[in-house]
Structure 1
Amino acid sequence: MAWMAWTWPTAVFFMVIAGLLIVSTVLAIRYPETPRTGILGIETTRGDRLFITLLGSAFINLAWLGLVGENQPYALLVCLAYAAGVFRWV
């Protein structure tokens, strides 16, 4: 896979995403849930909230790069706070 120019940060990123999907699948099998309605007014499941979190985190990181440019690890803290909010209230 040398043609893809993998770096450790890129590999870790995709491993984390794969791990999140695996954990989400195991939780869905082990503890089935009914959809709930949050502040968005739509029914969401764990998987929906995970997708909303990943999509929002991508936009947070892009905005951080455009507005701040440096100190990208601090964007991770913003993303973690956003994820906690999504899983709590959405």
Structure 2
Amino acid sequence: MFDWMVWTPPVAIFFTAIALLLFGMTVWEVRAPTIERKGFLPMKTTRGDRLFVGLLGAAYINLAFVGMAGRFAEWFRLEQEPSAWIGFAVSMLWLALVMRKG
């Protein structure tokens, strides 16, 4: 049933990080309610809004990289597929950018 899923350590760590972020943001919001602000996103957002947008983007980046790794190896004539850690790192950079500047 789950044979199509690529559950590698980077992917598992990625989803564990999401769960920890959700827990941490919930605690932060209870202790210090947020105010809306305008960043590079085309709307005013709260911390929770930026987390949601950042997580959506990070998940798509991470899963796209995992899904396209075989193609990358083919296109760039690599001996083996690139590490899933690269997709994880790029998705976390995106999340950090949205949380800080979004």
TM-score for both structures, normalised by structure 1: 0.74
- Do the aligned residues in 1 keep the contact of 2:38 with 2:45 (CA within 8 Å)? yes
> Does structure 1 residue 71 correspond to structure 2 residue 83?
yes
Equivalent positions of 1:1-90 (< 5 A) are: 9=9, 14-64=15-65, 65-66=67-68, 67-68=71-72, 70-90=82-102
Specify whether residues 58 and 70 from structure 1 end up closer, same or farther in structure 2 by C-alpha distance, changes over 3 A only.
same
**1-structure distance, mates of 2:26, 2:89:** 25
**2-structure distance, mates of 1:25, 1:44:** 16
Aligned residues with identical type, % of pairs: 41
Unmatched 5+ stretches in structure 2: 73-80
Normalized per residue, the structure richer in helix is 1
Cα shift at 1:82? 0.8
Paired residue total = 87
Cα shift at 1:8? 8.8
**1-structure distance, mates of 2:26, 2:98:** 18
Q: What SS is found at the alignment partner of 1:40?
A: coil
TM-score for both structures, normalised by structure 2: 0.67
Structure scoring higher RCO (CA < 8 A, sep ≥ 6) equals: 2
Specify whether residues 78 and 21 from structure 1 end up closer, same or farther in structure 2 by C-alpha distance, changes over 3 A only.
same
Larger Rg: 2
Cα shift at 1:13? 5.1
